């Protein structure tokens, strides 16, 4: 039998269909297998999107939804999809490997009982896109699919998805122009966001952030001579010289995975929030926390993957273990614990894990044996 996806956390929309629609679906506080994704044991299954209310799987060449709008999306070849467009309400679009865009009709999205459709909206004159990111404050940033010799990342920023749609339908109309245009050196690897900040990773392994400057969430200074303003992409100098290979974001937190398998995390320190990871204590503006979890021999662990939710974080070590910390209000750490917050790193899975994903208040793991 192949690897199996397991779920823990907020289950109000029935990702795990237990309980009843009338009585409500209880949260899942220990990892449980997600049923009926595919009857074909040889069919490849992956998680391509997760949010507050929904998990989207790539099952063979189909997109399968669990939770809100449960079902499948027809008319989109899932094997060609490279990026999902969505927010806390769920998936609203997708990008394919050729930079073509599929978007749900705005009016159709208002009917929560209707099956989701993603028609192709790209025409001959449409720009070809590489990445689309929707922040928690509804702002949208997009990058263009680069030419083979391109050495600059061009980013357009919009106030919301509606403004982005208008621009994409008619990009030459001055009324539809983006509110901001940014450019960053290099070639695009990732463009993601958390509640109010965008972060871009280029192929050279450098990170640039811009957005809300409050509470030190940018991970860099904005008030010293020579600093880039908060609303423009600025290099994270504290990680310059460290080649980053992957980033993850959620809530107020960011995590970065380096080529040498180290993990760095930083977060906005919002006033009045008494919950904070121990690793963040004592950090100043722009400072990163280097994760240090020791193995059985007292050596620092290497990590292969990171996943950040809205207040919680999972790390997958190179030997297939999973460690978690942060918010556990809905059981999203999978510890079978009623403790709402875990400030220290805790082993969540003892081994056999090959993949981790998170949504806002949920976690999904892929394991070859039931997690312990």
In a domain, 65, yes or no: yes
Task: Return the structure tokens found at 279.
Answer: 């690793």
In a domain, 190, yes or no: yes
Residue 345's pLDDT is 97
In a domain, 313, yes or no: yes
* Residue 46 CB neighbour total at 10 angstroms: 13
Residue 115's pLDDT is 87
First to last CA, the chain: 18
Range 244-256 burial, b when 16+ CB lie within 10 A, else e: bbbbbbbbbbbbb
* Distance, CA of 327 to CA of 340 (rounded, Å): 6
Residue 213's pLDDT is 87
In a domain, 349, yes or no: yes
Residue 114's pLDDT is 85
Half-sphere exposure of 324 (CA within 13 A, CB side): 32
With 0-12 CB in 10 A as exposed, 13-18 as middle and 19+ as buried, what is 11?
buried
In a domain, 102, yes or no: yes
Task: Assess contact for 126 and 164: CB atoms under 8 A.
Answer: no
Residue 361's contacts (CB-CB under 8 Å, 6 or more residues apart) are: 9, 10, 52, 309, 310, 327, 329, 330, 332
In a domain, 15, yes or no: yes
Task: Assess contact for 45 and 61: CB atoms under 8 A.
Answer: no
Q: CATH number, domain at 224?
A: 2.130.10.30
Residue 40's pLDDT is 64
Task: Assess contact for 302 and 334: CB atoms under 8 A.
Answer: no
Task: Return the structure tokens found at 242.
Answer: 């460290």
* Distance, CA of 344 to CA of 214 (rounded, Å): 25
Give pLDDT < 70 ranges for the chain: 1-2, 19-24, 38-42, 269-273, 285-286
With 0-12 CB in 10 A as exposed, 13-18 as middle and 19+ as buried, what is 312?
buried
Domain that holds residue 247: 4-367
Q: Which of 16, 74, 84, 12 is nearest to 50 (CA)?
A: 84
In a domain, 372, yes or no: no
> How many domains does the chain divide into?
1
């Amino acid at each position: 039998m192949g690897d199996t996806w397991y779920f823990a956390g907020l289950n109000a929309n029935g990702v795990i269909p237990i309980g009843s629609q009338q009585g409500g679906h209880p949260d899942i506080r220990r990892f449980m297998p997600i049923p009926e994704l595919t009857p074909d044991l040889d069919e490849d299954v992956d998680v391509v999107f997760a949010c507050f209310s929904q998990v989207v799987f790539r099952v063979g060449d189909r997109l399968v939804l669990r939770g809100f709008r449960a079902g499948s999306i027809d008319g989109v070849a899932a094997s060609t999809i490279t990026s999902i467009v969505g927010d806390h309400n769920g998936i609203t679009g997708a990008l394919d490997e050729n930079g073509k865009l599929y978007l749900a009709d705005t009016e159709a999205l208002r009917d929560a009982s209707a099956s989701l459709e993603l028609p192709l909206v790209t025409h001959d004159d449409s720009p070809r896109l590489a990445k689309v990111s929707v922040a928690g404050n509804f702002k949208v940033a997009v990058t263009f699919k680069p030419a083979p010799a391109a050495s600059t990342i061009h980013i357009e920023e919009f106030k919301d998805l509606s403004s982005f749609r208008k621009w994409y339908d008619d990009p030459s109309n001055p009324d539809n122009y983006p509110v901001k245009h940014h450019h960053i050196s290099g070639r695009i690897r990732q463009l993601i966001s958390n509640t109010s900040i965008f972060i871009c990773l280029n192929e050279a392994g450098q990170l640039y952030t811009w957005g809300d400057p409050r509470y030190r969430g940018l991970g860099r200074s904005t008030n010293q001579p020579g600093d880039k303003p908060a609303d423009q992409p600025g290099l994270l100098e504290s990680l310059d010289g460290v080649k980053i290979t992957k980033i993850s974001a959620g809530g107020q937190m960011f995590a970065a995975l380096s080529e040498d398998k180290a993990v760095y995390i930083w977060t906005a320190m919002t006033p009045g929030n008494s919950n904070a990871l121990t690793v963040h204590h004592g950090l100043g503006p722009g400072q990163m926390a280097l994760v240090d979890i020791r193995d059985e021999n007292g050596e620092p662990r290497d990590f292969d993957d990171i996943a950040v939710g809205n207040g919680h974080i999972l790390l997958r070590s190179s030997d297939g273990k999973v460690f978690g910390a942060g918010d556990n209000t809905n059981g999203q750490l999978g510890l079978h614990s009623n403790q709402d917050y875990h400030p220290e790193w805790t082993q969540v899975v003892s081994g056999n894990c090959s993949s981790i994903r998170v949504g806002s208040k949920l976690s999904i793991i892929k394991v070859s044996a039931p997690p312990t």
